[in-house]
Amino acid sequence: MKKRTFSVRLAFVLSVIVLVIGIVLSLRSQPPTPVREISLILHEKTTAGDVMLQAGAQRAAEEYKVDLSVITLSETGAADEQCRLTERETAGGAQAIVLSAADRTGMGDAVTACREANVPLLTITSGCDEEVDAHLSADQTEMGKKLAFEVMKRDGQKAVATIVRSAARRTGLDERLAGLIEVLTTCNVEYEVVDASNQDVAGYGFRNRLRQRGTTSVIALDLPELELLCSAQTGDTFSVYGFDTSSAVLAALDSEKIEALCVADDFSLGFLAVQTACALLDEKTPPEALIPFTLVDHDTMYDAQNQWLLFSLQR
Amino acid sequence: MKALFERAAKRFRRSSLQVMLTVSFTCITALALLAFGLSYHVRSTDLTRDRIGEDNIRIVGQVNYSFDSYLRSMMRVSDTMYYTVIKNTDLDQSSLTEEMNLLYEANHDQLISIAVFDSAGRLQAAVPQSTVKPGLDPAEQRWFTDALGRIENFHFSQPHVQNLFLSPDETHHWVVSLSRAVELTRSGQSEQGVLLVDMDFSGLEQICSSSGLGENGYLYIVDNTGDIIYHPNQQLIHAGLYAENNLAAAFYEEGNRVEDFGGEERMVTVKAIGYTGWKLVGVMPMSDIESAFAPNWVFPVLIILLIILLMGAANTFLSSRIAVPIKNLESAVNVIEEGDLTTPIPIGGSYEVRRLGGAIRSMAAQLRRLMDDIVREQEQKRRNELEVLQSQINPHFLYNTLDSIIWMIENQEYSDAISMVTSLARLFRISLSKGRNVITLGSELDHARSYLTIQQMRYKDKFIVRDQSDPALNELACLKLIVQPLLENAIYHGLEFMVDGEGELTIRTAREEEDLIIEVSDNGPGIPYALQQQLLTPDFEKNSKTGGRARKGYGLYNVHERIRLTYGAPYGLTILSEPDCGTTVRIRLPALPFDAGQGGETP
């Protein structure tokens, strides 16, 4: 009996102690929700061409409590620098890397750095040959096809196309090119592919060449070339088409220096990129994402739907 | 489950008082705490929800007030432009630009542009840009057609990118257009025109963005058709990545309501914005309200558990204070039950338990006294019976009687001898009465007569006997051997020294209501009064037997005590004597019918 009484008392005292400790612990203020650190490394020198992408990424950063760092390169397309920046960010505490790959074959070091640091790496628009955790992009091949069809619609059977490509070896550009060529070839449209690194795209010589060839449409695969082509001179007989936007490009579209653009929803892309990075950090399955794209021209750029696509609300 | 409950209930009913009290009090406390906790939680949740609802109404009201101020300031700009500038300007004689510019500069942080158009859509004046995009017809734009469509009203457009003027810096502006029909004056003639004030949309954004509606709450604006004017996730909505219940909200009444959208419960607060027909909608997820309680459920649960534990300990202590004295009483009662009346009775605890202990103690003491009395009475009875027994076989009486019989036989007085032997036999037979203590009155009187027969023979003609007994009473019960001692006393103390033939001995029986009276009277010298007082005391009885004399005592106490032991205090002997007037000894018994089956014990 005495032993039982002692056991009961001991159990009572222990229970009281446990409950008091529990109460004290429960009174502690909840720790703040941890902020994730994610780095978005662009492939360009400036952010001018990624205004909507950044706007979407920033919105997602607010939504998911992310400290987002947007990093540009000192030179557009500097893959080595992009790899170094990736290593720097992973070493500096970045929990996930979002990359618009500057070069499809030159990202091995970046991928290795992320793998070693156990940091999820996802690519947007342009991927790389190495395997990454996720890749988000609009269907660049379909974009190329759509633009090709638009060229043919406007120029008809007499279309003669010049496709200007940059030296950058990005998957997005290759896919656009593939889409364009597929349609142009199928429709028996005469076309040529010109390497911008070998041409002064903005210069008079190039324009003259185009005129002599009888080019009716110039399609710029990448933004820098498109911006150079925007500075069209009076007397140009060709129409300019492209894929990306910037303020200069929009101004050119507004002033009809650009005939049409096939534009992906970069705002959605930026938002979904950060969302996917957070899902990877939570070890959840990233949501299925289809980035839409659309064709805009001077007449439709201010439509109710397209203005949301082209013009950022953020300053 | 039912069997388990029944087993538990059975076990509970069988448990000790302390366990029952502890368990009952603790369960009641726990139930009360839980009930209180639940009701408090529900009430406080409701109150908090109501309070948050009121806060939301206040916040939305404040934002609406700011919004209202903003819109009114824009309308003031429009009014000022119209009534102060346009109405006082003849376009053919002067320009609107300078004053328009002043007005723009004063409000440039909120404005993108001010412009005036004629009814054909031709620009009359505009600041800061003044060149309309080539190929653009303002008259086809909605703000223009709305203004001329209803000339009395201000018209607010949906937010859009301004597509009017050539912009030298390639910038675009999101604006909300405020347009109205105006009267332009040209060479004294009035004509219609449209005044356009493009407000910077970011101004609206700033007003709505810091809503203060909880961690995940936000504000948005819809027009009267449900189209979104402003939403913090506006671009996500247009991108199809976010959904909002704007179409329903456009038709909500002002105030709070709870809606279920996208599987999430939300508190929605609606306020109409003046002048525009828009509605300001505040949204707060119910999870924000409930999160004030959800993380803290651990605290109240732990507190309740701790209180239940402490109450259990307190109840155990309190119940022990009640139960332990009762247990001690119970132990003492058990000991008493086993026969030990001397065990001490512990008295403690509450008033009632102390009273109970005192009562049990008194009861035990009384029991002890009663048992002692019973023992004493039984001992006295046995002593009396022993005396009776002894008197039954008084050897002197027997010896004298037998001697008389021998003498009679020797003198060939056979009939007297036979009579004496017969009487003696009858005397002894009735004395024995098969061991019974209670016989019929008839038998007792027979016994007395047998004695008297023998004595009369021995004391020839010494006295006469008058038998005045009532035969109707012969079947009443009577204690054995109570008359003979009286007769013996009357003979030896009353009549012995009287002259032969003068002695009279009377036996009388009567019924007085419920009592049987037997009287033995003699006409002897009587008993002194002082002696009368002593005759019925035990001391006199004891003293009368000392000195070695065989039968000196009167035996009256024995008879008296036997009667009282058998029938109680109201019954017994009464001595009525006057000196020289004789003595009557009266026996009073209860008039009870004789029951042969009773064995002759106390009726």
* DSSP result, B196-237: EEEEEHHHHHHHHH---STTT-EEEEE-TTS-EEE-TTHHHH
Chain A, nearest residue to B240 by Cα: A268
Per DSSP, B579 falls in state T
Backbone angles phi, psi at A82, to 5 degrees: -65, -40
Best A21, A254, A296, A312 residue to mutate vs chain B (most B CBs within 10 Å): A254
Q: Is A104 exposed, middle or buried (0-12, 13-18, 19+ CB in 10 A)?
A: buried
Contact A268 B240 (CB under 8 A): yes
What's the pTM value of the predicted model, to 2 decimals? 0.65
B235: which chain A residues are within 8 Å (Cβ-Cβ)? 55-56, 59, 267, 308, 312-313
Q: Please tell me the predicted confidence (pLDDT) of residue B295.
A: 55
Which residue in the set A15, A250, A292 is minimally distant from B172, CB to CB? A250
B234 and A19 within 8 Å at the Cβ level: the answer is: no
Q: Distance of CA A300 to CAs A107, A256, B534, Å? A: 38, 12, 148
CA–CA min distance B333, chain A (Å)? 23
Alpha-carbon span B67 to B62, nearest angstrom:
8
**Shortest CA distance to B599 belongs to which of B378, B434, B391?**
B434
Cα–Cα distance, B100 to B91 (Å, whole number): 13
Test B170 with A248 for CB contact under 8 angstroms. yes
> In A, what residues contact B, Cβ < 8 A?
12, 15-16, 19-20, 22-23, 26-27, 30, 55-56, 59, 247-248, 250-251, 254, 265, 267-268, 271-272, 292, 302, 304-305, 307-313, 315
Over range B220-232, report the average pLDDT.
91
Closest alpha carbon to A62 in A40, A86, A36, A98: A36
Q: Which chain B residue has the Cα nearest residue A266?
A: B239
If you write DSSP's letter for every residue of B260-277 in order, what string do you get? EETTEEEEEEEEEPTTT-
CA angle A124, A67, A105 (to 5 degrees): 25
Q: What angle do CA B66, B141, B87 make, to 5 degrees?
A: 65
Cα–Cα distance, B401 to B395 (Å, whole number): 10
pLDDT in tens, B27-82: 888 888 888 888 887 888 788 888 888 988 999 999 999 888 888 999 999 999 99
Interface test with A, best of B109, B132, B161 (most A CBs within 10 A): B161
Give me the residue from B233, B239, B299 closest to A23, CB to CB.
Answer: B299
Residues of chain B with C-beta less than 8 angstroms from the C-beta of A311:
161, 172, 174
Cβ of B241 and A12 within 8 Å?
Answer: no
Give me the residue from B172, B240, B313 closest to A311, CB to CB. Answer: B172
Average pLDDT, chain B: 85
Closest residue on chain A to B296 (Cα): A26
pLDDT at B211: 65
Q: Do A308 and B240 touch (CB under 8 A)?
A: no
**For testing contact with chain A, the best of B162, B172, B218, B242 (most A CBs within 10 A):** B172
- Of the candidates B167, B174, B239, the beta carbon closest to that of A267 is on B239
The answer to whether the Cβ–Cβ distance between B309 and A15 falls below 8 Å is: yes
Cβ contact, residue pair A12, B170, below 8 Å? no
Mean pLDDT of B493-516: 85
What the block records as the tokens of B455 is: 């004595």
**In angstroms, rounded to a whole number, what is the distance separating the alpha carbons of residues B49 and B292?**
10
CA distance B421 to B434: 20
| ipTM of this complex | 0.84
| Helical (H) or strand (E) element with B498 | none
Per-residue burial over B267-295, b = 16 or more CB atoms within 10 Å of its CB, e = otherwise: bbbbbebeebebbbbbbbbbebbeeeeee
Contacts of residue B94, Cβ cutoff 8 Å, sequence gap at least 6: none
Query: What value does the mean pLDDT take over residues B573-578?
Result: 90
Q: How many CB atoms lie within 10 A of CB A3?
A: 7
pLDDT tens digits in sequence order for chain A, 315 residues long: 678 888 888 988 999 999 888 888 877 766 777 789 999 998 887 766 688 899 899 989 988 899 999 998 887 778 888 888 998 999 898 999 999 888 888 788 888 888 888 899 999 888 888 888 889 999 999 999 999 999 999 988 788 999 998 877 888 888 999 999 999 999 888 999 988 877 777 778 888 888 888 889 999 998 888 988 887 555 677 899 999 888 889 988 988 889 999 999 999 899 999 999 999 998 887 777 778 899 999 999 999 889 888 887 764
Chosen from B137, B142, B238 to mutate, greatest number of chain A CBs within 10 A: B238
Pairing assessment for the beta strands B438-440 and B477-479 based on DSSP bridges: antiparallel
What average pLDDT does range B265-290 have in this prediction?
A: 89
